[in-house]
Every structure is written in structure tokens, then in C-alpha cells.
Amino acid sequence: MPEPILIVYKGPTSQTGIATRKEFPNIDSRWKEPELWEGKEFDDIKETLMSDELLAMLPMWNSHKGEIVPSHVIELLFQQKIRLYSMWPAMIDFICLTRLNEDEYDKIKTIISVHVAEAQCSQFIEELGAKFLPEESTLDAYNEFKKDKNIDAVLCTSDQNIGKFKVIKDNAANPMNFTTFALTGNLGTAGWTPDEWGSLHQEVTPKVGVYFGVQMPIRNVAFSDDQKALFGALTDDMDTINEIPRVLFVTRRTPGQCGLLIEGKELILYDDILTEDGFSTEIEVIQDIGEANKKYTEKIHSFLNNKFSSEIDHDFIRHKSIKNNTCFFACPKLEVLIHGFEENVVEPVMRQVIDKYFELIENDIGCTDVQRAFFEKYKDVYYEHGPDFIEFTDIGLNHS
């Protein structure tokens, strides 16, 4: 059976490659061949994705870096220039290698790695007191480290440790370090037959959910009436809490606008649904961004429960990066998790979502016993203060 061209950024030993192997262990291994990925930077993949009918695995968001802007994933999705077929979270581990002897570790002055590692491993880098040298990928960093003996150390993947270098640290990443990766495709892949998908066909069918977006003005403190109406439109005619479309990502799209990437069972916001009812034309619906055969909402909550169960054992959670304007907010009992950028933009979205969920539970929408008990726990203070009642527990590097 012919296989589609699949570009995995920087190949099988990269962070994207490791994540791909774990998420898609049964697909054809031809994606590992160097001619498919060698020499291809993010900009090259972007141009190829828009022009040729092929697929690409790319990183799109990190818990310490935020949106991976150089990968272009979220940008191209909101511009409807590529399609989204799958998203999944993965742990990001960095080992630190050096050519120095153990009694010389305090002499490490330079450390090289992929540029996002400066945020993802900030604590370790500061402890070393080393100057950080950015590269496009861990593979590029490792190869440069091997060539240049003036570079004292490298942060890379364990799969790239093929030399006779010493391991200083098995995992140099900050706490709660994970990345969301995406399987993306050229727009023409929407019409592919099962045969054209090859071994990936089982990974994209049957369709159980869709992705769409909303672009709207940034509100740092409170939502406008139109934006509240938008959240009402998202929940109309839903019978249970779990059917409600989930806001997954809140990202900056322009200086004055943010974009909401939303996962739902089916598309329920049409182009004119807002203006038809007299809402602001500043709110734009981005139709049909992609589809999935496994919901990201389920994947991210399962992942966090498995990897960070003690950290997320709180009712309302906030995670912030020290080095970057990125954050995520979560309410595990309601299965709400929003990845974002500036805290003062994302927090009002989170509060508005929780407010809407509580309103629906109060009006007897279908929910689990756990969710009903959760509402009852906060009912009185919610009636008194509205969504302002929420107090977030900080986790990660900012934990109390």
C-alpha cells in the first residue's frame, strides 16, 4: 500500500520524533527516512504544507514556552491554510551532556540546545550559571556541540546521546514540562481516500470531533455582552456537560485580538450566527479547522492524571511560566483545561467558561454525580460572587 509523505520535524530522534513514535507506534516507518525530514526547517515545512498534498507532525504549544510560533501551526490553522487531524500532549525530557570531567562541572560556561529549552529548562540553566546558545532543534544543537569543543554542554534527547559524553542530568526540564504536538495536512488531504492515507487511515477515522475557531477582541478584565453571548451560543441545545464544545487554546492573533481554538462534536457556530443575532462583527468564526478521531480533551486530562496527578489535585489550577507570557488554567472536575498566553487575557475566558458551566448545572443540564457535587460545594459562594469566587492554586515553578 502506498504511504503518504509524512514530514516529522527533525526526524525520529527529535522531541517531535519521539512523541510521534509513542503516539503512533503502528504507522509505517518510512517517515523516519532522512530524505523526508533532513534539512527541512519550520519555514520549509510551512511552504511545503501549503503547496503539496502531504502531512506533517509539528509542535504547537509548550507549557513553559507557550505557542510555538516558529512552527506556524496555530497561525496557519486560523488562516485556514492547513488542516488539523490530531493533537496530543507529550512529556518533554532533556538530558544534559558534557565533555568535561566530573570535577570540572562547575566550569560549564556555555550550554546549547533548541531555543525553546531556554524556557523549558530555565531552572537548571540558571543553577549552572551558563550562557545559553539557541539552535533550531535538539538535533542541530547536539551536532553543533559535537563539532565545537568550546561548547561545554548540550541539552538534548536521550536518543541523541550516541557519543562518549557524560550525563550531568537525566532530566533537566522544569516541573510540568509538556508539549502539544499536531498532525497537520495540506488542505487537499481533506478529500483523501482510505488508500491515500495508508497506515495513517486508522489514526484519522472514524471522525468523533471537529475543530473550529473564534477570533475576538482581547478583554483583559471582563467580557463584553457579545462575548458572553458567544459562550451562550456554544452551549445552546446541549443535553449534557460533556457535549459542550471545549475552548482548548487562547492565543494572540493580532495586537488587539485573540483566537480561541475550540473542539466540539460537530460544528455549531456558522459564519453569520453572531451577526445574525445582532452581535458584534468584531467576533469572527473560523470554520472547519480540522477533525479528529480521538478528542484532545480526553487525551490531555488522561495525560495530566497519569503524569502529574498530585500537581493537579486541586479544584481550580493555574500554571504560569516564569520566563514567558504563557499559562494554562484547569478545572479537572469539569474537565476544563485552557492553554493560553498572557494570564490577564486567559483568566477572564476561564472564569466565563466556569460561570457558564455552573449556570447550566444549576438549570439541570446532564452531568455526572461528581460534577453535581462539585457545583453544590461552591454553590453558595457562586451565588454571592459569580465567577469572581474562583481562587486558583498555582502549580509548577510558581507553586505556593
Residue 309 belongs to a domain: yes
Same domain, 18 and 67: yes
For residue 264 the three cell numbers come to 466540539
Same domain, 251 and 352: yes
Residues paired with 183 in a beta bridge: 57, 86
* pLDDT for residue 325: 85
Same domain, 299 and 220: yes
Same domain, 129 and 260: no
Q: Is 44 left (phi over 0), alpha (psi -120 to 50) or beta?
A: alpha
CA distance 235 to 367: 14
Same domain, 26 and 115: no
Same domain, 350 and 311: yes
User: Looking at 186, 204, 222, which one is the last position of a domain?
Assistant: 204
Same domain, 142 and 196: no
User: Looking at 143, 169, 195, which one is the last position of a domain?
Assistant: 169
The CATH number that applies at residue 162 is 3.40.190.10
Same domain, 184 and 235: no
Residue 1 belongs to a domain: no
Same domain, 63 and 163: no
Residue 163 belongs to a domain: yes
Residue 376 belongs to a domain: yes
Residue 316 belongs to a domain: yes
Q: What is the DSSP-derived secondary structure letter of residue 390?
A: -
Total of domains in the chain:
3
The answer to whether 393 and 319 have CB atoms below 8 angstroms apart is no
The answer to whether 98 and 168 have CB atoms below 8 angstroms apart is yes
* pLDDT for residue 279: 52
* pLDDT for residue 280: 59
Same domain, 18 and 153: no
Which of 247, 213, 260, 262 has its CA nearest to residue 330? Answer: 247
The answer to whether 70 and 90 have CB atoms below 8 angstroms apart is no
User: Looking at 204, 220, 254, which one is the last position of a domain?
Assistant: 204
Residue 141 belongs to a domain: yes
Residue 282 belongs to a domain: yes
Domain housing 264: 209-398
CA distances from 171 to 66, 124, 167 (A): 20, 10, 10
CA distance 39 to 44: 9
Residue 267 belongs to a domain: yes
* Residue-level pLDDT, tens digit, the chain, 400 residues: 589 999 999 999 999 999 999 999 999 999 999 999 999 999 999 999 999 999 999 999 999 999 999 999 999 999 999 999 999 999 988 999 999 888 888 889 999 999 999 989 999 999 999 999 999 999 999 999 999 999 999 999 988 887 789 999 988 999 899 999 999 999 999 999 999 999 999 999 999 989 999 888 887 656 677 777 777 777 777 889 888 899 999 999 988 889 999 999 876 666 555 555 545 567 888 889 999 999 999 999 999 999 999 889 999 999 998 777 899 999 999 999 999 988 888 998 899 899 999 999 999 999 999 999 999 999 999 999 999 999 999 998 765 4
Same domain, 39 and 183: yes
Other C-beta atoms within 10 Å of 286: how many?
21
Same domain, 384 and 257: yes
Beta strands 257-264 and 209-217, pairing class: antiparallel
